[in-house]
Amino acid sequence: MHLIVLDSNRWAKEVKSLHDRLFEDPQVVPALHHYYLDDAFFPRIREYPGSVDGHVCDRAALVRTLDGKHEEQRIRRPVFASEFGMTRSDPQPFPVQLAITRELGRSSSRRAGAGRCGATRTCATWGC
Distance CA 55, CA 83 (A): 26
| Residue 51 confidence (pLDDT) | 92
DSSP state of 71: -
DSSP state of 14: B
122 has pLDDT over 60: no
Whether residue 106 is contained in a domain is answered as yes
User: What's phi and psi for 24, nearest 5 deg?
Assistant: -65, -30
| Cβ-contact 27, 91 below 8 angstroms | no
Q: What is the pLDDT of residues 29-88, one digit of tens each?
A: 888 887 777 677 888 888 999 998 999 999 898 888 877 777 777 888 877 777 777 766
Whether residue 65 is contained in a domain is answered as yes
Give the helix ranges, DSSP H, for the chain: 9-12, 59-64, 94-113
Whether residue 123 is contained in a domain is answered as no
Whether residue 127 is contained in a domain is answered as no
- Among 10-14, 16-20, 37-41, 120-124, the least confident range: 120-124
| Residue 109 confidence (pLDDT) | 53
Q: What is the pLDDT of residues 18-44, one digit of tens each?
A: 889 988 999 998 888 877 776 778 888
Whether residue 118 is contained in a domain is answered as no
**Domains identified in the chain, total number:** 1
β-pair type (4-6, 28-35): parallel
| Residue 126 confidence (pLDDT) | 35
| Residue 116 confidence (pLDDT) | 37
Q: How many alpha carbons lie under 13 Å from residue 127 in its C-beta half-sphere?
A: 18
Domain that holds residue 75: 4-113
| Cβ-contact 120, 85 below 8 angstroms | no
Global pTM value: 0.64
